[in-house]
């Protein structure tokens, strides 16, 4: 053995300096970590802030007060026709557009602008709803609040910069003046945009709604959930509890692990090639979207399920086997109940991912312009994220706020799902 070293002199200046520099490094490193996290947080806040600032106006709309005469002649119906079984049909065939145009023209002329610049193309729908609730309106002349045109809507929300030279902005000086007149008359107001949450897509931003896309998402996710939850859980159970170590099992494992990391667009190509081209399923249908997303979500659920099952300590299995439970009993009496919170958490996260997924659905045509709320699994539909994508491509300035508003809706759903997942995870985290 070597001669014993001299005891380290910790108080020597060299050592002291060394320790000081080590502590300085420590502080720097710690700051870097904090800075990274802070940067990520700042970005998130910026992102959410931007979206919200752009989007909250999407839930509002500007309305203008017009004196409308429900002229039975122009409408082509009278109040008696609305009573009885044929009433609905009569209402649908009535010429509310005409009444609206008349009222709008009258007002627009006083302002020196075109009627289409004053009111929205779909403003007549408001009249129809009014008559539906009160058939007695026919033949009367009343003041009605109707949605303004897209440009006036933006003016109403102050989203148009009046300082910009006339040539570079969508509204002319005349229109601005007209709007100001209306405003000083108290004939414009800003209210909650109900159509946004109840209607489907439209070419006019002030009429476009997300309910169609939301229902499309819902239908798609139902298909996805029904398919991938049972299959995913069963696969996870098989792989984790029973699968013997062999080539076949390895193949399944590699498949699943790889599928989880395959770009989502590839699943879109699969859906396109197999479901649409090979099986001839209908384009743009929630069932195809659901199937495609199910294949994409399946590995997520399998992996989450396997992790949850694996985290059940083997000692529990030994214990059950030790008192004479069969392999199946072990799983269904002990492992599965204990793993369920984890599996559910994984499933919710998988579904949240599916809800936010866009690319594969583009491939199978769920970017169709659908103005109707989808009724079933095979009718053409779109989904929220695709709707966002479509609107983001629109040139009309009004769609910017719609896009952001749709994003807010989507994010709210995602937050709810993720929040539920986090809640589940925290509540059931590691009890053994």
Partner 1 sequence: MSAAALILALLGLAVAAYLAARARAAAFAGRTFANAADRISSIHSRPAYHGWYVALWALVPALILVLAWSVVGESIVADRTIASLPAESQPQTTLDRQAFLTEVRGVVSGQLAGAFNPAADAAVPIYRSIKTQWSLVIAGLAALLAMSGGGFAWLRVRPHFRARPRVERFIMIVLILSSLVAILTTFGIVLSLIYESVEFFRRVSPIEFLFGTNWSPQTAIRADQVGSSGAFGAVPLFWGTIFIGAIIAMIVAIPLGLMSAIYLTQYAKPKARKIMKPMLEVLAGVPTVVYGYFAALTVAPAVREFALSIGISNASSESALAAGVVMGIMIIPFVSSMADDSITAVPAAMRDGSLAMGATTSETIKRVLIPAALPGIVGGVLLAVSRAIGETMIVVMAAGLAANLTANPFQSVTTVTAQIVQLLTGDQEFDSAKTLSAFALGLVLFAVTLCLNIYALAVVKRYREAYE
Partner 2 sequence: MATMTASAEATVSSQPKMTARDVKVFYGEKQALNGVSIDVHTDLVTAFIGPSGCGKSTFLRCLNRMNDTIDAARIVGRIELEGHDIYAPDMDVVQLRARVGMVFQKPNPFPKSIYENVAYGPRIHGLASSKAELDAIVEQSLVRASLWNEVKDRLQDSGTALSGGQQQRLCIARAIAVDPEVILMDEPCSALDPIATAKIEELIDDLRGRYAIVIVTHNMQQAARVSQRTAFFHLGTLVEYGDTAEIFTNPREQRTKDYITGRFG
342 within 8 A of 308, measured Cβ to Cβ: yes
Which one of residues 33, 313, 376, 419 is an interface residue with partner 2 (CB under 8 A)?
313
311 near partner 2, judged by CB under 8 A: no
Q: Looking at beta carbons, which pairs linking 224-229 to residues 24 or more positions away fall under 8 Å?
A: 224/290, 224/293, 224/294, 224/297, 224/351, 224/354, 225/347, 225/351, 227/290, 227/291, 227/294, 227/298, 228/294, 228/295, 228/297, 228/298, 228/301, 228/350, 229/301, 229/347
CB of 245 to partner 2, least distance (A): 5
Tell me whether residue 70 or residue 399 sits nearer to partner 1 (CB atom).
399
What's the min distance (Å) between Cβ of 275 and partner 1? 10
State the nearest-atom distance from the C-beta of 429 to partner 2, in Å: 13
Task: Check residue 197 for interaction with partner 1 (CB under 8 A).
Answer: no
Q: Is 196 in the site for partner 1 (CB under 8 A)?
A: no
Chain residues 151-190 in contact with partner 1, contact rule CB under 8 A: none
Contact 142, 67 (CB under 8 A): yes
List 239, 312, 335, 343, residue binding partner 1 (CB under 8 A)? 239
- Residue whose CB is less far from partner 2, 1 or 261: 1
**How far is residue 46's CA from residue 274's CA, in Å, rounded to a whole number?**
41
Q: Does 2 bind partner 2 (CB under 8 A)?
A: yes
Which of 51, 90, 321, 420 is close enough to bind partner 2 by CB under 8 A? 321
The residue within the footprint of partner 2, chosen from 13, 163, 168, 245 (CB under 8 A), is: 245
Q: Kindly state whether residue 10 participates in binding partner 2, applying the rule CB under 8 A.
A: yes
Beta strands in 251-315 (DSSP E): none
Buried b (16+ CB within 10 A) or exposed e, 249-285: eeeeeeebeebbeeebeebbebbbeebbeeeebbebb
Pick 3 or 430: Cβ nearer partner 1: 430
Helix (H) or strand (E) holding 68: strand 60-69
Q: Does 430 bind partner 2 (CB under 8 A)?
A: no
Interface stretch with partner 2, choices 33-41, 313-321, 359-367, 419-427 (CB under 8 A): 313-321
């Amino acid at each position: 053995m070597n001669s014993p070293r001299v005891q380290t002199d910790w108080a020597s200046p060299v050592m002291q300096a060394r320790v000081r520099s080590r502590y300085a490094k420590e502080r720097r490193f710690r700051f870097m970590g904090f800075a990274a996290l802070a940067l990520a947080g700042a970005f998130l806040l910026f992102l959410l802030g931007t979206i919200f600032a752009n989007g909250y106006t999407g839930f509002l709309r500007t309305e203008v007060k017009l004196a409308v005469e429900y002229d039975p002649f122009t409408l082509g119906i009278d109040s008696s026709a609305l009573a009885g079984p044929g009433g609905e049909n009569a209402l649908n065939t009535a010429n509310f557009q005409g009444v609206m145009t008349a009222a709008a023209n009258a007002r627009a002329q006083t302002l020196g602008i075109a009627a289409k610049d004053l009111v929205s193309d779909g403003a007549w729908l408001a009249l129809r709803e009014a008559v539906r609730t009160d058939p007695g309106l026919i033949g009367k002349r009343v003041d009605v609040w109707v949605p303004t045109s897209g440009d006036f809507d933006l003016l109403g929300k102050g989203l148009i910069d009046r300082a910009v030279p006339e040539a570079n902005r969508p509204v002319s000086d005349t229109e601005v003046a007209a709007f100001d007149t209306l405003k000083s008359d108290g004939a414009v107001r800003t209210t909650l945009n109900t159509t946004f949450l109840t209607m489907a897509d439209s070419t006019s931003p002030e009429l476009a709604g997300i309910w169609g896309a939301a229902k499309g998402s819902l239908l798609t996710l139902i298909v996805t959930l029904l398919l991938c939850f049972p299959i995913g859980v069963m696969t996870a159970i098989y792989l984790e509890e029973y699968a013997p170590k062999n080539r076949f099992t390895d193949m399944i494992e590699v498949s699943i692990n790889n599928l989880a990391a395959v770009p989502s667009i590839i699943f879109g190509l699969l859906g396109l090639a197999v479901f649409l081209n090979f099986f001839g399923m209908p384009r743009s249908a929630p069932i195809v979207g659901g199937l495609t997303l199910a294949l994409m979500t399946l590995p997520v659920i399998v992996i989450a399920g396997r992790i949850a099952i694996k985290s059940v300590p083997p000692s529990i299995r030994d214990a059950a086997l030790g008192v004479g439970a069969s392999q199946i009993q072990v799983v269904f009496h002990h492992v599965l109940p204990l793993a369920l919170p984890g599996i559910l958490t994984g499933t919710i996260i998988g579904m949240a991912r599916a809800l936010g997924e866009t690319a594969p659905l583009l491939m199978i045509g769920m970017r169709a312009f659908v103005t109707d709320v989808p009724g079933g699994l095979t009718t053409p539909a779109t989904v929220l994220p695709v709707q966002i994508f479509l609107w983001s491509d629109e040139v009309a300035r009004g769609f910017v706020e719609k896009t952001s508003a749709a994003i807010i809706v989507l994010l709210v759903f995602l937050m709810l799902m993720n929040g539920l997942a986090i809640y589940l995870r925290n509540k059931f985290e590691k009890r053994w």
